[in-house]
Each structure stands twice: as structure tokens, then as C-alpha cells.
Structure 1
């Protein structure tokens, strides 16, 4: 510190001598009266060259600047001034503090150029970051190292009104991010997000870039929204950028698909897969003994054949709805498929189960009105109450099924209670089983239904449909005997015969120049015996048919019973060229995860889905069927529409993008010789079977 010799100079406090900031005193005439060593350095002059002289004499560049205005103001009104000042000749920023005293003005000057420029650089970087964030469509925030919001983009701010309407505080700059988003989150989601962000901040730098992602739901004013949070460190300072992608539509689609996978498309009731889950859950509860009621609509096939599928489908929907109204709260009604329904009653003894069955039976006394037609129907009901030791859903379902068969065999419109000896006492099924064991293979015949391409109308293959020429009951469809064949172990020999017969027929056609891919249905039982691969190889070798000309068709339910074993065997078959199709898609199990895991090349969409899509199209939601076809195409799977019976059906499946179709409009199932004649008629008519069918030339 240097003391002035100038008259009237005020002596500065000794405390200011060692202050690192430049400090000096001006009298009322703006003359230097004293200054410390830091001020000498700042002015680049020794004290004795400036003391007694005015500031503007020593530093003329201050004239007319903010510094002069602020300093004069402080001296005139006596109020301290604190301001930052850019000294342009040096291009440096200084922080100035000016305070008046009795004799003049004390001025503190601190060089803040580095700090000011660092802050300016940070502000510029933040503006650039904000501009980048604004370019992102998803709501995005930038967090500092302690988790406070530094910047938000337009997408984040766009949701402010929804947050306010929900009664919450809007998350803005400077707010604690986790504390703000806690509004509307369940505690588990909040804890998961807070922990993930905390781990990111302490992650060591220099290694691979770490990220954190979490899906969560949040209640907003317009309903629940699902978000996918994705966070990543910006740099080693601990700053994080957090984006929030709205996945609500995707989640709703997944929920919708999950619902469809566990529910029957026609009735909306739980399907077989879901029923087995519900039964398993009920059996696992030792405190509640469940009962299962197996209900079969009597004469439904006759109704379907005489009144049409539209009436039949509407009847099934009404049956499901009526059953749901009759059961007790907490009980479940589901559809196994076809005309078979199941009621799962909880905490039910035999007497209560029988009472419920008779109540359901009486509910059928009132006719159903389907498509304006009064349809009187009855129901055969089998009842099975879980006994000690029963732990498997399939076992209880089998017991109820056996009781249901007995009820129908007793004359229909009956209720029958399961008894342990019932399985061995099913006389009519045993009779069928005996005939099958005693050489009924010689009585089997195969009919073939053509499958045509929808783009050209060309015939590309046939589906083999097994029939039994029963000596007493006439020509029987598979549903009259295959279930018994499966139960008695005869299904595998029948399937082996069918594979041999159909591959031989396809090879004969090929030698005649008629190249038709042969589709043969395979059951779940064939997977469990693990002889499918060997049986298919043997049939192909014996017939000489190319593997590519054989397609194995499996129902959804069939695959669902043992998906792992099915996947393994199908992969082997697909490896040497045999094609695989999922048949009757939409009537049973529909797990997309399992569907994608299987080596399938074709999806055969069941007639019930076509009927449902036709009904939905009338309500303006016809895109549903197209979405199913598009889903198959996305997975590289071709689609075949089954049950095309009308011109409207054909138009709809074409517009949906289906690859192929089969159904009564195009061709009925027919004997092998009739197939040859039918194919020749198509060839002679120009090769477009679809156009010929629409013109009535194939009837």
C-alpha cells in the first residue's frame, strides 16, 4: 500500500494492503489518494505516478463508459455500486465495487475475465445443448451432477398443461428431477429410476458408455401414459441427458395382443390356454376345492350346417354371455373351441357343483335369438370336482370332459357327475377304439380341398382331410373319431397311414404334371412320441415326393401343449425342406413369443377370424384382419385364409393381403380323382380359379 503525500489524502486501512483485489481511493475530484499493490499491478504504474492525478487522466479509456457512470453515481447518491465491466482496450472483464465515504470513493476491482468467459462458454454450450434437445421429438431434460434440471426441450414443456391439470407442480429449471417426476409414479418405479440415475452418475469414465432405461406409467390429466425413460451421461462431470418416449400405444397394443392370446376371438371369453392357467391356479389353492363343468351345445353342427355359420357364431356368442350371467361372482366361463364351454367354480363341493350345472341347463330352456332366428338348443354338461391329489389342470379338464361325453351319450340335455371309473366305462368311445384297433385303417379315405393363390388364382396345393367310411354310421368326419383315437393311442398309426397315403398321391399327381403341395394335419401326440421326424422321412422316401411339396399343419393348441418339443422336431423337418403351417389360427393359443420361435412358414387363418373380421368391417374397423396378415408378413410368414365361402370373403382376404385361400366358394373337399378333374377345369378355364368361382364356373 502506498500513502499519498497529496494534501488532504485519506489513509487507507492497513487491512487492505494484502487484499488480492485492486483497491484504491478517489477524492471528490476523482483524484487518486491511495492504492494498494494489486492496484499498481492493475494500472501497470507505480503509485507515485498516479497519486494526485484523476482517474481519467491516468486511464482516459474510462471516459464515457459504464465504469464512469456507475462510479459517479455512487459518489453522488452515496449508494454502493456492484457491476461487471468489460474494459475494451484490454478485452477483459472486471467486477467493480464502488462505495462512497466522507472524503470520496473506495473502489475494489477484481479480474473476473476467466470466470466470466467460462460462464459465457457454459451458457453458450447450454444454449447449443438446448437447441439440440429441442430437435428431439421426445420430452427430454438435461440434469446436472446432483440431479437438478439444467435444461428442458419443447417436448417436455408441451406437457406442462397436463401436469397442471393433474394437480401437480411442473418440473422446471433448477428443480430436483426425481422429486418432480415422483408425482403420479408408483413407489417401485420411482425407486428403480432414482437408483438407475444414481448409478450412472458414479459410473467410472473412460470405459464403455453406460446407459439406463426403464419403462413406467404415469397418471396425467388425459389418462395413464406409459413412458420409456432412457438416460446417458453427457460427460465425466456427472451431467445426464434423459429422454422420455411415449410408448402408450405400444403398451396398449401389447395389452390387446396379450388379451387376444388368452381369449377366444368369437366370444371374448378365456380360451383353452387361459382356462388351463385359471384351473392350475385354483388347484394350487389348498383352501378352495374347485369344480369344473364341461358344457357341450347339443346339435350345434346341425344348426351350423342348416342355418349357416353366421347364425352359429352368433349363437355361440349368446351362449357364452348367458353362461357368464348364471355363474357366481368369482367363477369363470371360458370357451375351449367349437361348441364346448367350461365353467370353473371355486370352493364348490359336489352338491353345489351339481346345483350350478342344473341351473345352467335350465338357462337353455329359453330359446336364443340369432340373426333374427329363434334357435332352441340344449346342453350336455359334465361335472368334475377336484379330488385330493389332483394337481394338474389337464387332469381335471379330462375328468369333466369324460363326464360330458357320458352326458351326451345318455341322450343329450343331461348332467352327469364324474366318477373315478367313468374313464373305463365310456362305452361308445370304447366301441370306436375297438374298431380302430381291429383294422379300421382299411376303412379310411382321404378327401382333398384345393388351396389357391389369391394374386393369380392358380392352384398351389391341397389340404388332406381324413374321413372314416364307417360300415354302420357312414362317412364320419375326423371329430367323430380322432379324439378317441388319440386317447387310445391309435392316432399315431392313423397319422403314419395318412402321411404315406397323401405323399403317394402327391407324387402320383406330380408324375402326371400336376404339381400340388400336400398339406397334412399333425397332432400334439406325435410330438410327445418323438417319432414325427422318422415317420415323415419314411413317407417321403417311400413315395419319392420332394420334401418341399409336403406341408405339416399344426393347430395353435397342439403346439401350445409342448412348445419346446414341437420346436425341436419342426426345426429338423424344416431343415430338410418340409414346410410347416399353423392351422386354425385364432381359435386357441396365440402366443406371439412361441409363434415367432417356431420354424413355421405359413399361417392358416381360421374361418372364425374371417367371420369376425367381416363383422368388424361392417362397424368401420375392418383393418383388424389386415393387421393379422401384416403381422404374419412382418415375420416372413405367408398367410392362408380358410373358410372363404362368399364373394365378400374373397374380396376381404384379398384386400387384407392374404397370399392364398381355400373354402367352399373355391372348391369343396373332394376325392383324388375329382381333384384332377377340377384342376383340369381350372386350367382349361384360363387358370384363374378365383375368377371362375366368382363367375359360377366351378359350381
Structure 2
């Protein structure tokens, strides 16, 4: 083409001058016949330096290379050849297409060095990633930028084979990852995975990793996997690993279950119950009730039958409660011998009905270790008020109601009322003040005890009072039960012994010797400090032991008669007297009473009232029979609660030795005792006659 142009003719324009690819022609003698402008630039030679010259003379480095081989093949069979060639002088890769023509061949050269090197880097990365993937124990895939699976490791392949055996279709290279995952996870988890991968695809996002745990149903039990995705540096690829964490999840679930359930019964524990109560109190839910069940006397069961039997009984109780509640209700164990029942959509009437049904279910004995054991429960019922959202408050209310049920005599059902909450707050205040030294606010009032036959004043009973700074003078019922619960009762009794013996010694020094009666609780027997405390009080006060009487209730003796007998016998030997208080209200046997060194029997006012009623109906002198029995045993009798002239007449006819009550004298501060005794002396020394005279006015 590039020869001489005849005169008068214009050389035709080169049709390949605008082609961006390098183009040249070689004839069958391997000489250049045409080179376009792009080829001249690419090869770094002018056309006149190449046209007509032997190709391998111009470019000797190509001799014996793939170029020679491919060009010869094109010239031989005329078929098109396309191949890549690395040209060392330029240190670049070229893509060459060679076409046969009538005179030889035409070659098109394109610089593909950037693409080739990029691809080489990509392949190198893939080889490196492949090595990394194979080294990873979990099933792992490499995702391309479009989300398709580009590479998998052996673990993924092995998992796929396992899936095939179960009938599932495994995800393979070339498949879109999220489309494949849709077969293995539910819609909610799939959406979370998709969102996480999208966050990685955003190259501007700071997040470069994503972790998500999801379940996959494999057989009857779900397997759990941890998906961890990470963006490959300087790439749009993402590596996704799938670690089997089934055992870890099951261990965590087991620990979570143990943390929220009672080990012994398997029922929800306090923490879980509070969660359930909180859920039941959420806005939009119906009324919720909470039943607090406190087993009565269960400590005695444990102490007598052993804890292994007690544990089995607790399991039986939990099972029976679960059988009795309504569908949707929850039964839990609060701890020790206390259970809770959460009744959803339950008003006060329904809750009370459920409580009585549960109470009735205890009428059947419980069986454990071949033993039939009768049990009962005190049940407190609390219903959430509209708008209530505090689980702890509802639990506290139910607990308060159960406390009231137990205080009412056990085996009772009590429905919470706001007044109970005030009572609970009062108990808390009492407990705190007792702990902080309220003993300084205690005072003692004394009620005279007189001889029925002569009216002579024989002694006084010490009655503890609390001079509360805000509430005024409080009777023992307002605070002694709390003192017993909090362990303050023994220190208070110890103070009372010291105070009363000191006072009695002071009166004796003033010419008024009186026997001092002091009430003692069962707790003092179990603490085994009674003997020492009495001796210390007598020693410090100087009071003669014969002038001290310890009053015990029947029930306090019955709780531990052997321990009581041992300590009381020691005190009796030293001269201290013992009286049984409130006789007729307890359940102790005469055999137990006879075993104790009892000197006095105090007949409770309730028995006195009943005897008076029976006497009015002509049923006989019941009170006289009791007094006669006591006298036969060498025990003096004291009639309590003598409030009317008729009462005094009845106790005289029955032969009672001593009496006390409002007719004769009200309890009074120590400062008034001497004045009262002086009035009796002034009237002749017969307090009974003085009292009858005053009652007729």
C-alpha cells in the first residue's frame, strides 16, 4: 500500500488511521506491508522503518515465540487466531488477533496489560483466599460483589453433601447466596442476614464485619450457626463463615433455664416469676392476680422426717398446684416452703375462688418415701390495681396477705387490702426502730394480783408498753411479734427482767414486798440463755428469787417441753416460781404440764367467760372443776380477766386463790403502784372489797 503515487493522483486516506487498535500486515515472506498510526505509536517505530522489511529483523525478540507459531498457523490454514503475548521490551501484555488475507495476514494488537495484570492480581488473590478458605474449619463461602458465591471450602462442600442426604438442596458456586440462604432460615432471620450483608456492601460504611446467630432445623432439633461476614480489603468481595454453635447455644439455654427455674421442683423461680408478673402487668393486658402460698409448719416436717422427704414433698406440692391452676396460669416456687401462682385475666372474685380451690386440694395428704404427710397452706391473694406496673409491689402485697393468713391461725385464705400494706409498713418501721435502740422508749405497767379470800395484794404482773414518740403508748400486740421475727425479743426480755426485778427490789425497800410476774417466750428456751439472764437480773437487783415468777404460755412450753423442763427445773431449785399463763387457750396436754415445775395456773379470761355462760345455763360449776384439779396437783390458781362483780363472785365460789382484772385494778405505771397500795391499806387492806364498793357507785 505504501508505494509511489502516480502524478495527478491523490493518495487515498488510510481507512485504519482512526482505529485505536494497532494494525499491521505481513506478507507471506514475513515482510511488513502496512502499519497504521496506532501500531507505530505502540511499537515505537515509524512506518518507513518497518514497511518492506523482514518482521523478525525489526523485532528479533519475537522469533521463536508464540507470535511466530500462531502467525505460521494462520498462514498455513487461513484460520483466525487470537492469543495473548507478553512483549518484554515494553514489559506489557498484548492481545493479538491474526486474520489470513490474500497476501498474507493482518494482525490487530490491543494493549491489555492493565486488564491482564488486574486479572493476575485477582487470580492471585483468589488463590490466596482459596488457601485461607480451606484453612478455615467452619463452612465458608466467598461472595462476589453481586452477591453470588464465587468460591467455597471443603467444609461447605461436606455440609452440602450432608444436606443432600437429608433431601435439601445445597448452595453451589455461581448461585446467589441470599437466594440459597432463604431455603435454610425463616423470613425474619433472612431479613436480618440480608440487611447485615448490605451494610458490608457499602464501601463508605464504617462497618467491615457482621455477625449473626441463626437456627436451622436439622431433624427434630434445631441446629444453631454463627454467621460471620467480613469485607475483603480493597475489594467488593465478602467472606462468610458458618460456625456450628449448637452445643454452645444449648449450654447457654440450659444455663438460662437453670437461672430462671428452681432446681428442686423445676418451677419458675423468683426472678422468672417477677418477669412473668411484669409481662402480665403490661398495658392492654387484663387484670392479674398473685397467690402467695406459705406451707404451714413445714420446718417440723423437715426436722422430723428429714430433708430428703421434705424435698420430695415440695416437688409433690408443686405438681399438685400445677394440676389445679387454670390454663395459662403460672406456678412457681419462691423459695423454702413458699409457692406463687400467677393468674392472668383474673379479678378478685376469681382469684379468691382459685385460692379456696388450691386450699381444698391440700385436704388430700401428700405421699413421699412411702409416708403419707398431711399439709396445709396459708394463702395470700393480691390483685393488681388498674394501671399497676410494679411486679415487686404485687408480690409484696401477696406476701403481706399470706402473712395475715398465717397470723389468723394458718390454713387460711386472706385477700390483700390497703390496710394490710399499712400494717406491713408498720412492721418494717418497728423492726428498724427496734434495731436502732427503741428499748429506751419502753416502759412497764404493772397490774396487781390479789388474794381472792382476803383481798390482800400479793404481787403484780409486769406488762411491757412502748412509749412511741409519734403513736403514743403501744400495747405488746403492736410490736412483740415483729421483735420475735427480727430476733429482738430475747434482748427485750432480758431488759424487762432487769427492769422489773430492780423495781420490785425498790418497792420492797420502801416497805411493799410484791411478787413480780414476768412473761417469758419460747424463744428464750431455744436460745438457752434464760437461766443466766434470770440469775444476772436477780444478782444485779438484789431481789430474792422467791419474789420472781416467770409466766409461760401453754404453747411456748409445748414447742419444746424437754428443753423448757430442764431450764425451769434449774430456776425452781434456786427459788424462782413458774406460772402457766393463758391456761385453756393452748393445746398442751396435762402430762406435759405435770412434768414441769409449775407453781401457778393462770386461767385465761376466755375460759372464765365461757364458764360464766355455762353457769348461767345451769350446766354446772366448770370453773370449780378446773380449780379443784389444780389444787389436787398442788398448783395455785389465778383467775385473769375479772372485770365484773359477778366474775369475782364466781371465782370465789370456784375457790380460786388469786385474781387480777380491771375490776380490781387496771395496769398502771410504777409511780402509781405505791399510791394504789396505800389506798388499799387505808381501806382496810381488802382490795376486793374496795373494788366492789367502787363498782356499786
TM-score for the superposition, normalised by structure 2? 0.53
Residue 273 (structure 1) aligned with residue 271 (structure 2): yes
| 213-222 or 288-297, larger mean C-alpha shift | 213-222
Residue 126 (structure 1) aligned with residue 126 (structure 2): yes
| Superposition deviation, residue 155 in structure 1 | 5.3
Match of 2:171? 170
Distance 1:310 1:44, change over 3 A: same
Q: Deviations over 1:419-456 (max 9, x none)?
A: 555568999896513778997242689xxxxxxxxxxx
CA distance in 1, matches of 2:4, 2:123: 44
CA distance in 2, matches of 1:119, 1:390: 68
Find 1:294's aligned residue among 292, 295, 301.
292
| Superposition deviation, residue 416 in structure 1 | 4.0
| Superposition deviation, residue 220 in structure 1 | 5.4
Q: Deviations over 1:586-640 (max 9, x none)?
A: xxxxxxxxxxxxxxxxxxxxxxxxxxxxxxxxxxxxxxxxxxxxxxxxxxxxxxx
The answer to whether the Cα contact below 8 Å between 1:162 and 1:220 also exists between their aligned partners in 2 is no
| 240-249 or 211-220, larger mean C-alpha shift | 240-249
Distance 1:37 1:394, change over 3 A: closer
Residue 215 (structure 1) aligned with residue 212 (structure 2): yes
Match of 2:305? 307
Match of 1:229? 228
The answer to whether the Cα contact below 8 Å between 1:3 and 1:33 also exists between their aligned partners in 2 is no
CA distance in 2, matches of 1:242, 1:438: 64
CA distance in 1, matches of 2:132, 2:122: 15
Match of 2:100? 100
Match of 2:672? none
What SS class does the counterpart of residue 14 from structure 1 fall into?
coil
Match of 2:648? none
Which has the greater radius of gyration?
Answer: 2
Distance 1:87 1:231, change over 3 A: closer
What SS class does the counterpart of residue 308 from structure 2 fall into?
helix
Match of 2:329? 331
Match of 2:17? 17
Backbone CA RMSD of aligned residues: 4.5
| Superposition deviation, residue 335 in structure 1 | 0.8
CA distance in 1, matches of 2:381, 2:172: 60
What SS class does the counterpart of residue 16 from structure 1 fall into?
coil
CA distance in 1, matches of 2:53, 2:192: 69
Query: Where does the alignment leave 5 or more consecutive residues of structure 1 unmatched?
Result: 6-10, 446-468, 479-699
Distance 1:31 1:211, change over 3 A: closer
| Superposition deviation, residue 290 in structure 1 | 1.8
The answer to whether the Cα contact below 8 Å between 2:197 and 2:229 also exists between their aligned partners in 1 is no
The answer to whether the Cα contact below 8 Å between 2:22 and 2:109 also exists between their aligned partners in 1 is yes
CA distance in 1, matches of 2:217, 2:4: 72
CA distance in 2, matches of 1:200, 1:438: 64
| Superposition deviation, residue 83 in structure 1 | 1.5
Q: Deviations over 1:125-149 (max 9, x none)?
A: 3323443454444555555666565
CA distance in 1, matches of 2:526, 2:420: 25
Between the two structures, name the one with larger relative contact order (CA 8 Å, sep ≥ 6).
1
CA distance in 2, matches of 1:474, 1:126: 83
CA distance in 2, matches of 1:203, 1:49: 51
CA distance in 2, matches of 1:2, 1:218: 75
The answer to whether the Cα contact below 8 Å between 1:210 and 1:233 also exists between their aligned partners in 2 is no
Q: Deviations over 1:375-423 (max 9, x none)?
A: 4433333333344575543443334334434444555444444455556
Match of 1:448? none
Residue 381 (structure 1) aligned with residue 379 (structure 2): yes
CA distance in 1, matches of 2:217, 2:270: 37
Q: Deviations over 1:462-516 (max 9, x none)?
A: xxxxxxx9934345889xxxxxxxxxxxxxxxxxxxxxxxxxxxxxxxxxxxxxx
| Superposition deviation, residue 339 in structure 1 | 1.0
The answer to whether the Cα contact below 8 Å between 1:3 and 1:34 also exists between their aligned partners in 2 is no
Q: Aligned runs of 1:601-612 on 2, under 5 Å?
A: none
Q: Aligned runs of 1:574-585 on 2, under 5 Å?
A: none
The answer to whether the Cα contact below 8 Å between 2:365 and 2:373 also exists between their aligned partners in 1 is yes
The answer to whether the Cα contact below 8 Å between 2:210 and 2:228 also exists between their aligned partners in 1 is yes
CA distance in 2, matches of 1:196, 1:202: 11
Find 1:473's aligned residue among 512, 516, 522.
522
Find 1:432's aligned residue among 466, 481, 485.
481
Match of 1:112? 112
The answer to whether the Cα contact below 8 Å between 1:263 and 1:270 also exists between their aligned partners in 2 is yes
Match of 1:70? 70
Q: Aligned runs of 1:422-461 on 2, under 5 Å?
A: 432-433=481-482, 440-442=489-491
TM-score for the superposition, normalised by structure 1? 0.53
The answer to whether the Cα contact below 8 Å between 1:163 and 1:220 also exists between their aligned partners in 2 is no
